[in-house]
Structure 1
């Protein structure tokens, strides 16, 4: 699990697979990651056509360095099987990950893993397609540790608080909004998902904030997710891309300080010392671990 591909996931942009115009805008956006949606954003009558539109977009648009993902319908639906086969057969060579919706247990992830393995062999693909998993049912949260270890294709766990709210019976005005609850109603779910992800060597990503016109609200939720160790958040509108990139990136001052601390510690270590003071901060091996987290992010994001 720890040798998985490292991908930026600061901003995951949702794009309806039924709209050629939106697919083109997604490819041209500044988001790290774009997922072409076959699930909630696509009407049942449009799903078959949307598969072909997504395949065309993956094969023909310039996605730059973005992670190219397709969100499929869940395994209990009549669409899931053909979602996987059609998209992989027509555009598997240009697909980075598949996002699995509404799993209840590890068995659902294993189903997708096995299908991908068969298709990769059949098509003789020279690259593996990764899996991203949405935790959006109470059963999935109860089984999140098992899910996180279910496949070596797994790259990240995503908190889907919209369907999760419905699954738990949470009364909320809008997706991502805590409603009248006096604290952070999603704290436990985010914390548990992040813990499970980190223990398995995966990324944890926060889900949508529906009121895209409320920049302060989006930023507040993103900061809560970041403080727990999540690496990014969904953007359901282009207005949410820039704040997500900003919040989940270490700023220039933090990167410069981390580089200074790492260099000072290395010098101290060469002298047989276990700690060194840098700008009033004691840097030892424990602090160095935090420093490296910052530097790893800076390197991944090209900062």
Structure 2
């Protein structure tokens, strides 16, 4: 429940791939709507010049209302709450297309109060426009050192909050990293001996999981390096992230593959759960499956695999 009393039900959305699309280009927006991305967000922030930000809002409304989104999650990244545009972004987009908008993405949050601002504004708009209370969710970018330092409090800030996203580009600047590669590793004088994003990525994922929301890995600027994108996505899913940003359509299929269980993983999970059910029926607390000892903790791990497979539509009922 929000501070205003609005009840918001938890939502499960497929977020393997979140495709960024500048709100200034209706041609690119139309292509994004026809893509295989799970979520498409129309961007009013970094990809839009200051002189074009207000005008771009009308493209967002038109696209949400007129295009066929084929079941995708429809989102808009507004400008940060510290800017002169955020208030108008939210009001204009929700007033124009609130019935066809699923999620608003808030960039550059620093403290929980930034989420409270967006939550309260959305609550007022939903009431005044006759929209279902709490129908518009929030995702926020963790891309400032202040946000990373209080990410646990941010993750608990609002029932509308559905996901945290690791914003590696701005976080690099905020932390003072000497890097020229957004979302990957550098070689040469400033190379880091390991994964420079492990700490931030893991801390954000733990905070998200602790509060029942999704964790999304951030952008990878090397659009000509698909294996680098796959590597970063694999590291992220290994820690518990459920998806990754795509800044180019060529990254969508990689994300959709990496963040979905394989047929082998599904088969193993079903086998482990069946083996434990048989063991428990015989009064045993553990079982052997394919040469491995499994117990109730194994069941928890593999139930999560099957839940993920069901969300991805990979199992027959």
SS in 1 for 2:41: strand
Matched with 1:158 is: 165
Structure 1 position 10 matched with structure 2 position 16:
yes
What does 1:21-36 correspond to in 2, within 5 Å? Answer: 21-36=27-42
Q: Distance in 2 between matches of 1:276 and 1:62?
A: 49
1:92 to 98, 101, 104: 98
Give me the TM-score of the superposition, normalised by structure 1: 0.97
Distance 1:100 1:190, change over 3 A: same
SS in 2 for 1:184: coil
- 1:279 is displaced (CA, Å) by 1.9
- 1:215 is displaced (CA, Å) by 0.9
Q: Distance in 1 between matches of 2:175 and 2:43?
A: 24
2:46 to 27, 40, 46: 40
Matched with 1:255 is: 266
Matched with 1:284 is: 295
- 1:71 is displaced (CA, Å) by 0.3
Q: Distance in 2 between matches of 1:278 and 1:226?
A: 24
What does 1:1-303 correspond to in 2, within 5 Å? Answer: 4-126=10-132, 128-179=135-186, 180-303=191-314
- 1:182 is displaced (CA, Å) by 1.6
- 1:267 is displaced (CA, Å) by 3.1
- 1:257 is displaced (CA, Å) by 1.6
Flag structure 1 segments of 5+ consecutive residues without an equivalent. none
SS in 1 for 2:19: strand
Q: Distance in 1 between matches of 2:88 and 2:107?
A: 15
SS in 2 for 1:13: strand
SS in 2 for 1:65: coil
SS in 2 for 1:77: coil
Give me the TM-score of the superposition, normalised by structure 2: 0.93
Q: Distance in 2 between matches of 1:64 and 1:76?
A: 34
Flag structure 2 segments of 5+ consecutive residues without an equivalent. 2-7
Q: Could you report, residue by residue, the CA deviation over 1:249-275 in whole angstroms, capped at 9, with x for unpaired residues?
A: 110111112122222322332333322
Q: Distance in 2 between matches of 1:245 and 1:201?
A: 22
Q: Could you report, residue by residue, the CA deviation over 1:219-257 in whole angstroms, capped at 9, with x for unpaired residues?
A: 111111111111111100011011111111110111112
CA RMSD of aligned residues (A): 1.4
SS in 1 for 2:206: helix
- 1:189 is displaced (CA, Å) by 0.5
Q: Could you report, residue by residue, the CA deviation over 1:10-45 in whole angstroms, capped at 9, with x for unpaired residues?
A: 111001011101111111000111111000011111
Q: Is the 8 A contact 2:23 2:42 kept in 1?
A: yes
